[in-house]
Amino acid sequence: MAVAWCALAPILWAVSGSLKPEGTLSDPNPLPTAPRWSTYAEVFSSIPLGRMLLNTTVYAACVTAGQVFFCSLAGYAFARLRFPGREALFLAYLATLMVPLTVTVIPQFLLMRAFGWMDTPWAMIVPGLFGSAFGTYLMRQFFRGLPMELEEAATLDGCTPWQTYWRVLLPHARPAVMVLAVLTWITVWNDFLWPLIMIQRNEYATATLGLLRLQGQYTTNWPLLMAAAILLLLPLLLIYAVAQRSFIRGIAMSGLGGR
């Protein structure tokens, strides 16, 4: 319970601060005496937040779909198909998790510039589209836990490896797919560094860049900034509320729950 309150305290403080008048954020009273709900409307008049939320939703949806498809495909290959060097290749791929994000930013930036994708949606979608080491590891662990009888029955029915993956094993991997989809969506939604480097125009900006553009050079309207942060948080809470059961079940069945 104490840990839960520690996690919720910053969110509750931001909600309270967003309803206070500007300049009263340090008021010792945690609850606003006269809540200013108009602050949330001011966010949309200060920045094109609707457009930014739409951009972020499109980017997150595309990257999530790509991650789910390619990670599940790679996870199936590493878990079920036998080919020379499979384990060594998987360990080498898994080792890329130890490479810091900042190391890959500059090469990715140079690639985006060479392709002419600077300040375009492609720069936000393509780099994360083709899977990740963590997603591949997650799907591999889940596929390894499925009964071999499923694959044997599919082979006896004349299924090819692709048909076995698509029609037999992937439908049974829905919990792991849900975990990967939720984690990927949250990662893309909260990403700040990559959009900051790639995107300049509000036409393609993400919601996290909107938070940056609400900050002034010398002063910042903190209630306005907190209201925008709460608006960005609401879609994530909705997604988790809808996918909560499948998410927890997928964590437990994939072996990531510490069991």
* Domain-embedded: residue 190: yes
* Helix orientation angle between 222-254 and 38-46, rounded to the nearest 10 degrees: 90
Q: How far is CA 241 from CA 2, 134, 140, 150, 211, in A?
A: 22, 23, 26, 32, 24
* Domain-embedded: residue 25: no
pLDDT at 7: 83
Write the CATH number for 59.
1.10.3720.10
Tokens of 79: 């878990």
**Cα–Cα distance for residue pair 101/175, rounded to 1 Å:** 28
pLDDT tens column, 33-76: 788 899 999 999 999 999 999 999 999 999 999 999 999 999 99
Size of the chain, expressed as the number of residues it contains: 259
Is residue 222 within 8 A of residue 17, CB to CB? The reply is yes
Percent of the chain with pLDDT over 70: 95
To which H or E segment does residue 101 belong? helix 101-115
Is residue 28 within 8 A of residue 149, CB to CB? The reply is no
pLDDT at 256: 56
* Domain-embedded: residue 164: yes
* Domain-embedded: residue 191: yes
* Domain-embedded: residue 29: no
* Domain-embedded: residue 101: yes
Res 5 pLDDT > 90? no
pLDDT at 259: 45
* Domain-embedded: residue 116: yes
Write down the pTM of the prediction: 0.90
Q: Is 135 exposed, middle or buried (0-12, 13-18, 19+ CB in 10 A)?
A: buried
Is residue 76 within 8 A of residue 139, CB to CB? The reply is yes
43 Cβ partners below 8 Å, 6+ apart? 49, 214, 224, 227, 228, 231
Res 158 pLDDT > 60? yes
Question: Closest Cα partner for 175 from 146, 132, 133, 134?
Answer: 146
Is residue 124 within 8 A of residue 193, CB to CB? The reply is no
Domain containing residue 212: 39-253
* Domain-embedded: residue 17: no
The pLDDT mean for the chain works out to: 89
**Cα–Cα distance for residue pair 12/85, rounded to 1 Å:** 51
| Number of domains the chain is built from | 1
